[in-house]
Structure 1
Amino acid sequence: MSAESVQSKVAAVILKALDIAKSEGQLPCDVPSQLILDRPKNRDHGDYATSIALALAKEANMQPGVIAKVIVKTLTDNKLLTTAGISKVDIAGPGFINITLESASQGVVVTEILAGGKKFGTSNTLVGKKINLEFVSANPTGPLHLGHTRWAAVGDSLGRVLAAAGAQVSREFYVNDRGNQMDLFGASLRAAALGKARPEDGYHGEYIEDLAKEIVKSNPQITQLAESESISAFTQAGYKLQLEQQRKVLDNFGTHFDTWFSERSLYEDNFFNHSLDKLKKEGHVFEQEGAIWLRTTDFGDDKDRVMIKSDGTFAYFASDSAYYVSKRERGFNLCIYMLGADHHGYLGRIKALAACAGDDPEKDVEVLIGQMVKIIEDGAELKLSKRAGTIITLEELVEKVGTDAARYTLIRFPTDTPMVMDVDLLRKNTNENPVYYVQYAHARICAVLRNAKELGINYGLKFYAPELLNHERERELVGLLAQYPKVLLSAAQLRQPHRVARYIEELAAQYHRFYNDCRVLPLGDEKVSDLNSARATLSQATAQVISNGLDLLGVNAPEKM
């Protein structure tokens, strides 16, 4: 019997009590077919709670407290409590019903965790969803900076969370490899190689010098070419090197993409004209003053968007429209765009674009906006990068605090709010550092289990006696473990992986309280007991859930620290 079936059994007996009460004339209203149970935050209020009495009060024309008394009496008189492993029911406030389980029933979740292992908490809720998750779109003209870094962590974690809920997820990096910035990139590289002043609106970081030297070293003749030919050659060589550097940095950060999609490819093999024809068939393309437009105002955009300018050149929105058509033609039934704070205006136009393509913008497209990140070191904000000449790069951040601390911290905050990273705090091996706090809890449990083995304590599914776990701290810990699947599902449905981080922080704190109040290992000459085995098994389950949560964040779960 799983934790889910325990909850289902509790809900079922309450619904049965409602049916009996209605048939006996005590409840003059329809009975719902389903019942939602909540987990009370205060464990003094039991293992589950329901507000069904309040929900039925108006239709029944009865006080909620009276309905609650009818339900509790019916449960008791018909001996329904024992069939669901309920030890007691209480009425609180205006009519809330609090339910406390027998220890054996409540402790079933530990069995489910150990049986499920790495898959515990996963579900099939999003099976059938084929999701294109686009994040860390960047120009291949420089290092990935702090703005990209937040999405590099959050996007990767969101992909893991969505997959854990059953979705088929493809992580995509959109390479902005088209436009004037590419020519400026090549001109900047050529100027650096020749020791000349770079274009005023070009690229000025130290990395340009490094790239130029590497290009010239592998192709010494490149500086002898005619200017236009030389700039083109530098552009292509620099593009290849910088893109490879971005891949390497992201791989080292634990973020891997299934597809690196080139913007330039949208204009190859007549694809843009193909996508334009598809939009024309939907009836929202029009021509005005020699330019070709998409009438996005038909679907709430603040203005129509030009795709081909009157001089025949492509506007940036041309790429947006063709790229969306490409995603849909590749079979994705949900396109999630993860954009930076400076792209807030894109929300309306991308939704309108989807509608112009004949799709449902409320179902087929989602746009997530990530707010800015500040880095504080020695009490002051860091703004300049030694290599990029602008703001701090992803590589520099990792050098300062490490991959685990950087990823965990970037993920644990809601992305729609700005955040501050304190470098000095993240270097501390103290409980003030959230990632250290969670990782230490996992390492501590691993140490406990190693000691348990040395002492001859058997633990695991074969040696687990849930009825022995009746201490308040044990019940609190088991109750919190049971919430993990619900937390994981809400993180997927709401696109909020920070919920997983906050949950495992709470779980780590709860384990420390349990460890302090409930002795897992015998002291001195005490004999090993079944209670030691049960508590060690509970510890093992806790470590599994912490490990599962950290894995969804792309963070290591160390066994020693």
Structure 2
Amino acid sequence: MTPSALADLVRSAAAEVLAARGLDTGALPEAVIVERPRNPEHGDYATNVALQVAKKVGLAPRELAEALANALAGTDGLDSAEVAGPGFVNLRLATDAQGELVRQVLVQGAAYGCGDEFGGLAVNLEFVSANPTGPIHLGGTRWAAVGDALGRILTVRGAVVTREYYFNDAGAQIDRFVASLVAAARGAEPPEDGYGGAYISELASEVVRAEPGVLELPDGQRDEVFRRTGIELMFEQIKRSLHDFGTDFDVFFHEDSLHASGAVDEVLEQLKRSGRLYHADGAWWMRSTEFGDDKDRVVIKSDGAPAYIAGDIAYLADKRSRGFDLCIYMLGADHHGYIGRLKATAAALGDDPDVVEVLIGQMVNLVSEGKPVRMSKRAGTVVTLEDLVDAVGVDAARYELARYSVDSAVDVDLDLLRKNTAENPVFYVQYAHARLASLQRNAAELGLPPVAGTDGSQIDLGLLSHPREGDLVRTIGEFPKVVARAAELREPHRIARYLEELASAYHKFYDAARVLPQGDEEATPTTFARLALCEAARQTVANGLALLGVSAPDRM
């Protein structure tokens, strides 16, 4: 029995208790909370629904809890229901109910953990979106790992996700990038506010090879060639790096297209007509404070040029015109002001501000031998995606960057991630999968029929009565709820932390309960029950790692 099925059972029993007493069943929460207690001696699960509801219906919490426990006693799948403390109800599952959960995992396979609560919600998930002026730095690398994982998580819970990269190919940073390329091609130092590093020299050389006479062209034409070719080459490098990191996008949206197509001018005229823009001090301002922003924003500067937010307005309007129900922006630590700004933009466009969500990610630092790693061999001033992957590999990099809340800064310990020990979180989880896969191979070598790919109907899963078996079953049973919560809160790190808990539960089980026969021993019904449990654990680990974009090796 899964936690969600148990929660439904508890809610149904609570509704019957209230109805029998003529009390309002509407006082029950839509979703009853059923959680594993910290102390296993208190039961397999516990619910506080009596504490939540009692006051609303005029009963003492313990009185309601006792009535609920009595109603649940003897229910199929439950071994016991007992009242504890001020009104908690502790629940113990029957062993056959635990076995049924194992059977569900065997049947569902890769679909275990999926749900449909987002019901086809069209989500535009924009992340990374680094300027095409250099390699992806560590902040962008974090978003590549977290954003891709979030897309996977939302998808398995029913959303239709479009991964989008906003290609910032307009603005002053591009002008500085072009000037830096021209200087490098001439063998000169970059401009004071330009870009340095070996990659600039490499790109400049590639431009000259592609366009041999470019340095002899008039300045305007020369700069245009360096702009067009340099951006194209840099962006191809960025896309290749992201692909090699396991992160691909459905849409690469060019900022410049909004200006070239007239979309920016069109949306600004629309806002002028609606009165959402006003003229003051020679500039046009958006009345963003009326929609919750901390200040009104200049949209058209006094020289008539559009401010950066003008592109943001047109971009959000474009997303909505493409049919997206929810637009998630994943931005860096210096973009806190964008939360109010983008929600106000949605409201100014006549939309619900909640169609916009902004996630802000904190800084990432590399540490080796207890000291910060500050410099890149190619980029010169920042550490890049390639630097991290070269140091620890794709799996370790993705897992480590995804296992922390984006609200917190991360110190990535390169020495730790190189260790093949339990101290290394990704190794710990991947090793659990490899160990589980090895069990199935060893079983096959003993001539035992496979468990994977079956529905377990020929196996007596009610034999899973060892305490460590129960711990492992209940941990496996938490997976769908963890995935649902990670999707709801946009927190992929919950998957990683869960996987570490699951790996721990498996290792403890394996140390306490022998799975395969040894020597001349014959396989017993318990052997097959434990093999089924191990296959359910392996499948769950594989499903969780897949959501993080991390491989599940069969051998290590």
Q: TM-score, normalised by structure 2?
A: 0.95
The aligned residue for residue 66 of structure 1 is: 63
Give secondary structure in 1 for the equivalent of 2:35: coil
Tell me if the contact between 1:183 and 1:232 (Cα under 8 Å) persists in the aligned partners. no
**C-alpha distance in 2, partners of 1:241/1:552?**
31
Sort the Cα spacing of 1:550 and 1:138 in 2 relative to 1 into closer, same or farther, 3 A. same
Deviation at 1:302, TM superposition (A): 2.2
Query: Shift of the alpha carbon at 1:292?
Result: 2.0
Of the three residues 398, 409, 425, the one matched with 1:418 is 409
- The residue type paired with residue 166 of structure 1 is G
**1:447 corresponds to:** 438
Shift of 1:4: 4.6
The 3-state SS of whatever aligns with 2:257 is helix
Which of 43, 46, 60 lines up with 1:46 in the alignment?
43
2:50 counterpart SS class = helix
Tell whether 2:32 aligns with 1:36.
Answer: yes
Give the 5 Å matches for 1:466-481.
466-481=461-476
Query: Take 2:144 and 2:189, find their aligned partners in 1: how far apart are those partners?
Result: 34
Moved more, 439-448 or 278-287: 278-287
Answer whether contact 1:438 1:505 (CA < 8 A) is retained. Answer: yes
Given residue 543 of structure 2, which amino acid in structure 1 is its aligned partner? N
The aligned counterpart of 2:523 is: 528
Is residue 511 from structure 1 mapped to residue 506 from structure 2 by the alignment? yes
Matched ranges for 1:88-487 at <5 A: 88-361=80-353, 363-458=354-449, 459=451, 460=454, 461-487=456-482
CA distance in 2, matches of 1:406, 1:486: 26
Residues 429-487 of structure 1: CA distance to partner in whole angstroms, max 9, x if unpaired? 00000000000000000001111112233334243322101111111111111111110
Matched, 1:16 2:16: yes
1:546 correspondence with 2:544 = no
Q: Distance in 1 between matches of 2:94 and 2:64?
A: 25
- SS of the residue corresponding to residue 287 of structure 1 reads strand
Deviation at 1:59, TM superposition (A): 4.5
Shift of residue 376, structure 1, vs aligned partner: 0.2
Q: What amino acid does structure 1 have at the position aligned with 2:483?
A: L
Displacement after TM superposition at 1:35 (Å): 6.4
Q: Is the 8 A contact 2:27 2:57 kept in 1?
A: no
Question: Would the alpha carbon gap of residues 125 and 31 (structure 1) be closer, same or farther in structure 2, given more than 3 Å must change?
Answer: closer
What is the deviation of 1:348? Answer: 1.4
Residues 18, 25 of structure 2: 8 Å contact kept: no
Does the CA-based 8 Å contact 1:547-1:557 persist in structure 2?
Answer: yes
Residue 444 and residue 54 in structure 1: after superposition, are their counterparts in 2 closer, same or farther (change >3 A)?
same
1:88 partner SS: strand
**Larger displacement relative to structure 2 (89-98 or 401-410):** 89-98
Cα distance in 2 between the residues matched to 1:220 and 1:342: 40
Shift of the 40–226 alpha-carbon distance from structure 1 to 2, 3 Å rule, reads same
Contact 1:343/1:369 (8 A) holds in 2: yes
For 1:464 and 1:197, locate their aligned partners in 2 and report how far apart those are by CA, in whole Å.
Answer: 73
Cα 1:200/1:88, change in 2 over 3 Å = same
Q: Does the 8 A contact of 2:10 with 2:32 survive in 1?
A: no
Aligned to 1:489: 484
CA deviation vs aligned residue, 1:509-535 (integer Å, no higher than 9, x gap): 000011111111112222100100000
Is the alpha carbon distance of 1:177 and 1:31 closer, same or farther for their aligned partners in structure 2, counting shifts above 3 Å?
A: closer
Q: State the Cα RMSD in Å.
A: 1.9
User: What SS does structure 1 have at the residue aligned with 2:320?
Assistant: helix
Task: State the SS of the aligned residue for 1:359.
Answer: coil
Partner in structure 2 of residue 555 of structure 1 = 550
Q: Which deviates the most, 153-162 or 218-227?
A: 218-227
Per-residue displacement from partner, 1:104-124 (whole Å, max 9, x unpaired)? Answer: 012211111111111111111
Contact 2:144 2:242 in 1 (8 A): yes
How far off its partner does 1:398 sit? Answer: 0.5
1:397-455 Cα shifts (integer Å, max 9, x gaps): 10001000000000000000111000000000000000000000000000011111122
Asked if structure 2 preserves the Cα contact closer than 8 Å seen for 1:2 and 1:112, the reply is no
CA shift for structure 1 position 64: 2.6
Change (3 A) 1:149 1:416: same
- Aligned partners of 1:171, 1:56: CA distance in 2, in Å? 42
C-alpha separation between the residues in 2 aligned to 1:344 and 1:223? 42
Q: Describe the shift of the 1:183–1:105 C-alpha distance in structure 2 as closer, same or farther (beyond 3 A).
A: same
Mapped to 2, the partners of 1:200 and 1:269 lie a distance apart of 33
Q: CA offset at residue 319 of structure 1? A: 1.0
Q: Report which stretch shifted further, 219-228 or 6-15.
A: 6-15
Identity %: 49
Q: SS where residue 96 of structure 2 aligns?
A: helix
Cα displacement (A) at 1:208: 0.8
Deviation at 1:246, TM superposition (A): 0.2
CA distance in 2, matches of 1:190, 1:35: 62
Q: Which moved more, 1:1-10 or 1:543-552?
A: 1-10
Shift of 1:299: 1.5
Alignment check: 8 A CA contact 1:10 1:84 kept: no
Deviates more, 1:476-485 or 1:194-203: 194-203
Segment of structure 1 superposing worse, 29-38 or 502-511:
29-38
The offset of 1:314, in angstroms, is 1.8
Letter of the structure 1 residue corresponding to residue 35 of structure 2: R
Q: Secondary structure in 1 aligned to 2:372? A: strand
Residue identity opposite 1:99 in structure 2: L
Does the 8 Å contact 1:15/1:32 carry over to 2? no
CA distance in 2 between partners of 1:347 and 1:535 (Å): 50
What is the CA distance between 1:279 and its match in structure 2? 2.4
Task: Give TM-score scaled by structure 1 length.
Answer: 0.94
CA–CA distance in 1 between the matches of 2:68 and 2:531? 38
- Is the CA contact (8 Å cut-off) linking 2:277 and 2:285 kept in structure 1? yes
Matched pairs, number = 550
Superposition deviation, residue 6 in structure 1: 5.2
| Contact 1:57–1:63 (8 Å) recurs in 2 | yes
Residue 161 of structure 1 contacts residue 497 of structure 1 at CA under 8 Å; is this kept in 2?
yes
Cα separation, 2, equivalents of 1:535 and 1:238: 59
User: Shift of the alpha carbon at 1:498?
Assistant: 0.4
Distance 1:523 1:365 in 2: 59
How far the C-alpha of 1:54 sits from its partner, in A, is 2.4
Letter in 2 for 1:416: D
For 1:540 and 1:348, the matched residues in 2 are separated by: 47
Letter of the aligned partner of 1:449 in structure 2? Q
Taking a change above 3 Å as real, the CA distance of residues 185 and 127 of structure 1, as seen in their structure-2 partners, is same
Report if the CA contact (8 A) 1:430-1:436 is conserved: yes
| Alignment CA distance shift 1:31-1:139 (3 Å) | closer
